[in-house]
Amino acid sequence: MKITFLGGAGEVTGSCTLVETGEARFLVDCGMHQGGHEAWEKNLAALDFDLRRLDFVLLTHAHIDHSGLLPRLTALGYRGPIHVTATTAELLEVMLVDSAHLQEKEADWRSRHRDARRLCPMVPLYTVAQARACLAQLRTIAYDTEFRPHPALSCRFHDAGHILGSAIIEVRVRAAAGTRRLVFSGDLGQAANGMLPAPRQIDGADALLVESTYGNRLHKSPEQTQAELIAAVSGTIAKGNVIIPAFAVGRTQAVLYSLAGLARAGKLPPLRIFIDSPMAEKATLITRRHLELLTPAVRELDRWMRGNPAELQLRYTHEVEESMALNQIRAGAIIISASGMCDAGRIKHHLRWNLPRAECAVVITGFQAEGTLGRRLVDGARSVRIFNDDIPVRAQLHTIGGLSAHADREGLLAWLRGFAHAPGHTFVVHGERDTAAGFADAVKQRLGWTRVEAAQQGGVHTLA
Ligand SMILES: [Zn+2]
């Protein structure tokens, strides 16, 4: 059996692994590379193998860095099944169509401004029509249910607690030397953020692929995170607004429920929250339709929110005009908007209006990549450029790390301790190169496992 690391090895985007068992050939995840022109080239070059011989695809979760090239598979001719959980399918309906729409829009804009700005032409990786065709290939599977996508193997999805519908995937393959068990962690959640259950423990594997996004870091405690959120909000809303850039799927809902919990406990005054991102609205509505997947505490909190609209006024802004109207509010609004790294979307307007005001606050809740507007703010820029204007930064800046949807180093190690024996081989994936290598060392030292290595991009591993 052969495992090939096509993406998400030594990097945190583009997750994609090809498994060839002799009888079956399948992919686990088919993610988009993200971050600038280099990523675009990688996306164009990805999936360069004979797709007609691919039997099926398994998907751990809906985030674009794991799912974003699924429609590219369709565009290149793959017509087979893509197995996902039901909630992942719901999220993909929103996310893949949106991704295609953004690409079509950018390609169109480039073709119209090409001569004046000397832009290269751009062909979308896939169109909206191809994204919709891909959605028709999804096959939904419940958690903890064995299914057979091929006669030579069986699979099971376990709750990974990372975002709604996220799964750890277990595959049992018939091999010459007996049954071989492969485990793909996908992204693992952190139970401390309170929204989703802890990742399901797995007791054994012949080969394990484990993520390492935060394999070199420790999150702050829930108590510290709460204290920071209280300080940022209560010190601001009487005289200014609180602007929170957040990823639409996962982070927006974690921020919302954290604020609601504090309002309910009387640690914050009644709140007026605006979710100003069409995708975040859809993801929030899907979340609130699937309370059964959340922790009992959050289910209870959601009931309280519905019953106490005066304590927590929640509004979704759909139209651009409604979003622009938020700029007239001088004080008392908490605006959660995308993109999470402040590089695109409506958040840029809110920053433009609120950054120059010392009585406002900006709360950063997620990782800010090099080169993004969010990173410049975190690094303490006194002035930033937004829509060709120099905007002075006078608002208070808060960085809150504890709302991450990923387990930190100790969380990952705790999950690995659930294995009864060290897996035959452990491959550390989905982490920057140094982080993945460092985490592989930590696993060896702390757990005494010996066959642990950071996966290499393009690397092939053969399993007897
Ligand atoms: Zn993820």
d(CA 428, CA 439): 8
Distances (CA, A) of 127 to 133, 134, 278, 452: 10, 11, 20, 40
**CB neighbour burial string for 98-117, b if at least 16 within 10 angstroms, e if fewer:** bbbeebbeebeeeeeeeeee
Q: How far is the CA of 187 from the centre of ligand 1 (A)?
A: 5
Percent helix, percent strand, percent coil in the chain, to nearest 5? 35, 20, 40
Q: How far is the CA of 213 from the centre of ligand 1 (A)?
A: 9
Q: How far is the CA of 406 from the centre of ligand 1 (A)?
A: 8
> Is beta strand 56-58 parallel, antiparallel or unpaired with respect to 82-84?
parallel
pLDDT tens digits, the chain, 464 residues: what are they? 999 999 999 988 899 999 999 899 999 999 999 876 788 889 999 999 889 899 999 999 999 999 999 999 999 999 999 999 999 999 999 999 999 998 998 888 888 887 777 777 778 999 999 999 999 999 999 999 999 999 999 999 999 999 999 999 999 998 877 899 999 999 999 987 789 999 999 999 999 999 999 999 998 888 999 999 999 999 999 999 999 999 999 999 999 999 999 999 999 999 999 999 999 999 999 999 999 999 999 999 999 999 999 999 999 998 989 999 999 999 999 999 998 889 888 999 999 999 999 999 999 998 787 788 998 999 999 999 998 899 999 999 998 878 888 999 999 999 999 999 999 999 999 999 999 999 999 999 999 999 999 999 999 999 98
Q: How far is the CA of 284 from the centre of ligand 1 (A)?
A: 16
Q: How far is the CA of 164 from the centre of ligand 1 (A)?
A: 10
Q: How far is the CA of 325 from the centre of ligand 1 (A)?
A: 33
Residue 448 falls in which region: left (phi positive, over 0), alpha (psi -120 to 50) or beta = left
Total length of the chain: 464
Q: Are 211 and 455 within 8 A, CB to CB?
A: no
Q: How far is the CA of 369 from the centre of ligand 1 (A)?
A: 15
Q: How far is the CA of 158 from the centre of ligand 1 (A)?
A: 15
Q: How far is the CA of 438 from the centre of ligand 1 (A)?
A: 21
Q: How far is the CA of 121 from the centre of ligand 1 (A)?
A: 31
Predicted TM-score (pTM) of this structure: 0.92
Q: How far is the CA of 61 from the centre of ligand 1 (A)?
A: 7
Q: How far is the CA of 444 from the centre of ligand 1 (A)?
A: 25
Q: How far is the CA of 63 from the centre of ligand 1 (A)?
A: 5
Beta-bridge mates of residue 10:
none
Q: How far is the CA of 309 from the centre of ligand 1 (A)?
A: 31
Q: How far is the CA of 287 from the centre of ligand 1 (A)?
A: 16
Q: How far is the CA of 23 from the centre of ligand 1 (A)?
A: 30
Q: How far is the CA of 246 from the centre of ligand 1 (A)?
A: 14
Question: Residue 330 CB: number of other CB atoms within 10 A?
Answer: 14
Going by C-alpha positions, the residue among 59, 284, 294 that lies closest to residue 161 is 294
